[in-house]
Amino acid sequence: MKIVLEGNHAASYAARLCRVQVIAAYPITPQTQIVEKLAEFCADGSLPARFIQVESEHSAMAACIGAASAGARAFAATSSQGLALMHELLHWAAGARLPIVMVNVNRAMAPPWSIYADQTDSVAQRDTGWIQFYCAGNQEVLDTVIQAYRVCEAVALPALLNLDAFYLSHTSEPVDVPDQAAVDAYLPPFRPRLLLDPEHPRAIGGLAGPDAYMEFRYDLQQAMDEAKDALVKADAEFRLRFGRGYGLIEARETEGADLALVTMGTLAGTAAAALPALRGNGARVGLARVRVLRPFPAEALRAALRRARRVLVLDRNLSPGSGGVLHAELAAALAGRPDPPLVLGALAGLGGRDVRPEAIAEAAAWALAPERHAEERLWLGLKR
Amino acid sequence: MARAETVGALPARELVSPGHLACQGCGAALAMRLVLKALGPRTVVVLPASCWSVINGPMLASAVAVPLLHAAFEAAGAVAAGVRAGLSLRGLDDVTVLAWAGDGGTFDIGLQALSGAAERDEDFLYVCYDNEAYMNTGVQRSGATPWGAWTTTTPIPRVKPHRKKDIVAILAAHRIPYAATASVAFPADLHAKVRRAAALRGTRFLHVLSPCPPGWRADPDQTIRLARLAVDTRIFPLYEVWGGADYRLTHRPRGLPVAEYLRRQGRFAHLTPEDVARVQAEVDTTWQRLLERCASTPRNRDTGRRDRKTSPAVGL
């Protein structure tokens, strides 16, 4: 059934369709509507889950960790400062191999205070062992929550699902909400690998010495590698059942392009809107959207960018002292090729600054200029 | 409810095995042994960073015969709430969730999560085994370290200039169903309190003074003596608080001079007679306040507490 949903509520409906059992959350703009709607679902009886409104985001993730360790399908939602406060426990959830799914509304980090879109909050968590999705539409938000539980529970990893503040969180779009029976057929009940069970007492998470710790990290990396295949398969099966799929990346006309634009989240929509004008100028310009940042889809990107002459990465995030995070990672992934493209980076839309198609066109013109070299960095629309 | 009057009447079943990694004379090891005897095998332990993270043994070993989940230092209250929710979803309402934290994980870094859980009246028993400093990291001061004590971060002559927090009053202020102090030197009293707590629902809190011979600079064979002296000098009186309001003493202390307790511990060896007098005055004041609270508690008043069974008055 198609209904009009803002991105936040698409996440709430998806969590209900996934029959989440424990929800732990703390209010933070612009995420709050996600858990407000879930609280309503719990109150009206349409979602028989335990809703724990904890006293901090840190405790939200801690409660999810406890619940998942006791066998519950756990869900959380947060944003920005809240995600940063959870940092220690993001490591914990992944290290404990708990398939928690959390929606993060990408919002800039303070100071100065900002509630607007910026992906620095989540890319800063990329080393915590969570699968990371970046969505570009409200339908994708709903579909990705469902896919995320399927994949997470298969490979025993948590997933962070990101949507840009306001551009998705507070923007309404028609969203197809699938039937519960169809989701149930796609997503079986959670069967934990390890469980707190009085019939089979054991300690979980005890000290591992230097003779044992490294293997845990190896297994975590292996799980991420497995997750790549699991994601592709889960997405393919989703497409069969629901008629929609997204892949690890979405690329169009990037192979052999004069310039391939690469970005994450809603900037992809703006870039797509700029493409016709760019092609009208005679340049072959393609676009790739990275939907999954962890595990990093290096092979998919290498394939999509085969024979591309130049690549411009638009990052709505900043790793100060390095630059855009996707830029750095993509440059590393492409560096080993025999004839590597020139990989350029632009910082765009930080703190919710509006990025219009004309600005994308300017960035493309900058990237296509003959004198460009890899060390240059473009700050799109910077006022100085 | 049966009340074990003597150690011999405690349940024989041991749920802490002898192979644990505690130091000689560890009060915390004994505290776990006594608490698990009272709770029995239908218990799940949530264990934030503390001495017990080590005592329980490295991976593939566990000193306790019940499920145990290691947790982040500051997170016991929230993890326990999540575990409770997960167990209840599986129909395991009879299983007690035991959050087991040291004084650092309770008085300091874990206070927020504990307060949040207590305010929500999350259904678990939280035991703080209090050895009055960060002993696992080598004796650093905590919010539970008493005034005047030496620790490695309050070295002589700059010993701790601040009082110990009144953690039971903090928990009682949340009006939780049950909060109590207990001591490893009074196992029958401790056992009875755990049983009383286990019969209730909601957040229950037990504060157990757990002497630490290395951290207190005392001989390992002094653990029980020190724990008993803490009670009998009224430094650590044994009492309980029902519903956040009804205070009841569970043991009438002898009122020995605090010097009897202090002089046996190297961490207080530098205290002057004036310092000892100051500690005595503080203890006397606190004791009077406790007596007043107990006196203002009408015996057997209905406090709206949610006993599973009727609970006897535990007056003296």
Q: Do A50 and A112 have their domain in common?
A: yes
Looking at residue B235, its pLDDT comes to 98
What kind of fold does domain B13-295 have according to CATH? Rossmann fold (3.40.50)
One-character DSSP codes across B216-238: HT--GGGHHHHHHHHHHTTSS--
Q: Based on the domain organization, do A206 and A99 belong to the same domain?
A: yes
Q: Which residues of chain A does B68 touch, with a Cβ-Cβ cutoff of 8 Å?
A: 201-204
Q: What is the mean pLDDT of residues B262-283?
A: 98
CB-closest option in A54, A63, A205 to B70: A205
Q: Tens digits of per-residue pLDDT, A335-355?
A: 988 889 999 999 999 999 999
pLDDT at B55: 98
Q: Is residue A196 part of a domain?
A: yes
- List Cβ neighbours of B111 (8 Å cut-off, separation of 6 or more): B170
Q: Test B86 with A68 for CB contact under 8 angstroms.
A: yes
In single-letter form, the type of residue at position A280 comes to G
**pLDDT tens sequence across B117-133:** 999 999 999 999 999 99
Predicted pLDDT of residue A196: 97
Number of structural domains chain A divides into: 2
Domain check: are A269 and A342 in the same one? Answer: yes
Q: Kindly identify which residue of chain A lies nearest to residue B93, measuring between CA atoms.
A: A198
Confidence (pLDDT) at B299: 61
Give the DSSP per-residue string, B147-178: TT--BTTB-TTS---SPPP-HHHHHHTTT-SE
Same domain flag for A196 and A343: no
**B interface test, pick of A26, A42, A55, A97 with most B CB neighbours within 10 Å:** A55
CA nearest B80 in A: which residue? Answer: A66
- Confidence label for B313 from pLDDT (cuts 50, 70 and 90): very low
Residues A109 and A152 in one domain: yes
Residue B93 per-residue DSSP state: T
Please indicate, yes or no, whether residues A198 and A235 belong to a single structural domain of this protein: yes
Q: Which residues of A touch B (CB under 8 A)?
A: 21-22, 24, 50, 52-56, 58-60, 62-72, 74, 88-89, 92, 196-198, 200-209, 212
Of B208, B213, B212, nearest in space to B184 by CA: B208
Place of tokens 């493409």: A275
Please state the separation of Cα A41 from the chain's center in Å: 25
Please report the sign of the dihedral spanned by the C-alpha atoms of residue A79, residue A85, residue A90, residue A96: negative
State which of A204, A223, A242 marks the end of a domain.
A242
Amino acid identity, position A223 = A
User: Across all residues in chain A, what is the average pLDDT?
Assistant: 97
- b (16+ CB within 10 A) / e for A90-128: bbbbbebbbbbbbbbbbbbbeeeebbbbbbbbbbbbbeb
With respect to residue A6, please indicate whether it lies within any of the assigned structural domains: yes
Determine, for residues A52 and B81 on separate chains, whether the beta-carbon distance falls below 8 Å.
yes
In degrees, to the nearest 5, what angle opens at C-alpha A202 toward C-alphas A200 and A206?
A: 165
Would you place residue A217 in the very low, low, confident or very high pLDDT band (cuts 50, 70, 90)? Answer: very high
Q: What angle do CA B69, A79, A131 make, to 5 degrees?
A: 60
Least confident of A66-70, A121-125, A190-194: A190-194
State the average pLDDT over residues A352-371: 96
| pLDDT bucket at A279, cuts 50 / 70 / 90 | confident
Identify the domain boundary among A242, A265, A288: A242
pLDDT of residue B315: 39
Q: Are residues A224 and A319 in the same domain?
A: no
Structural tokens at position B103: 């004084």
Strand, coil or helix: B16: strand
- In a domain? residue A384: no
Q: Give the nearest partner residue to B67 out of A21, A53, A202, using CB atoms.
A: A202
Residues of chain A contacting B83 with CB distance shorter than 8 Å: 66-67, 69-70, 196
What does the DSSP 8-state code read for residue B64? B
CATH number of the CATH domain containing A123: 3.40.50.970
Q: For residue A181, what are the domain limits?
A: 2-242
Question: Which pLDDT value is given to residue A280?
Answer: 85
Its sign, for the CA torsion B19, B23, B28, B34, is positive
Distance CA B37, CA A85 (A): 38
* Whole-angstrom distance, CA of residue A314 vs CA of residue A378: 9
Q: What is the mean pLDDT of residues A160-182?
A: 98
pLDDT digits (tens, 9 = 90+) for B222-269: 999 999 999 999 999 999 999 999 999 999 999 999 999 999 999 999
Residue A34 to chain B, least CA–CA distance (Å): 20
| Residue of A59, A74, A196 with shortest CB distance to B116 | A59
Cβ atoms of B282 and B268 closer than 8 Å: no
Same domain assignment for residues A214 and A84: yes
pLDDT for residue B300 is more than 70: no
End position of a domain, from candidates A204, A224, A242: A242
10 Å Cβ neighbour count for A199? 9
Amino acid identity at A126 = R
Task: State the DSSP code for B23.
Answer: P
Residue A261 confidence (pLDDT) above 90: yes
Same domain, A104 and A171: yes
